[in-house]
Amino acid sequence: MLQDSDQSSQHSDVSLQRPENSTTPENVMSPPSTIPEDRPQSRSSSQSSVTSTRRKRRALQEEPMNDALNRLENISSAINTQTEYDEFHYFGLNLAAQLRSLPLYDALDVQTQIQNILTTARRRHL
């Protein structure tokens, strides 16, 4: 009887042992480190892609503003650029001042006469 119990315990020991190549659920294991490490990496890559997307959006929003700013700076520099005025500029200012001092009807008549003289002179040089 004692032998029977020894044999049955041997059988039970043998039945509990399975070959290492077995594909039973107990022997199939997923690497425990893969799952937790993948999640933070995906979060990190997800965060970096979100950051990258935000940077792209910001760049797209800033581009029209930068273009507008450059245009305004160009206009400002063109307006503020001091040019050297010649005698014709000052002659025109003098004419304008004199025309302003006349009554409107007379000023318009003189302006027309001056323009006709200038037009005639330019036509001669065409």
Q: Whole-prediction pTM value?
A: 0.37
Q: What is the pLDDT of residues 69-81, one digit of tens each?
A: 888 888 888 787 7
Q: Rounded to an integer, what distance in angstroms lies between the CA atom of residue 52 and that of residue 45? A: 10
Least confident of 47-61, 67-81, 92-106: 47-61
Task: Kindly state the DSSP code that residue 29 receives in the 8-state scheme.
Answer: -
Distance of CA 41 to the CA centre of its chain: 27
- φ, ψ of residue 23 to 5 degrees: the values are -110, 35
Specify the amino acid at residue 31.
P
Question: Rounded to a whole number, what is the distance in angstroms from the first to the last CA of the chain?
Answer: 137
DSSP string, 76-105: HHHHHPPPPP-HHHHHHHHHHHHHHHS-HH
- Residue that wins the pLDDT comparison between 14 and 44: 44
Specify the amino acid at residue 20.
E
Q: What is the largest CA-CA distance in the chain?
A: 145
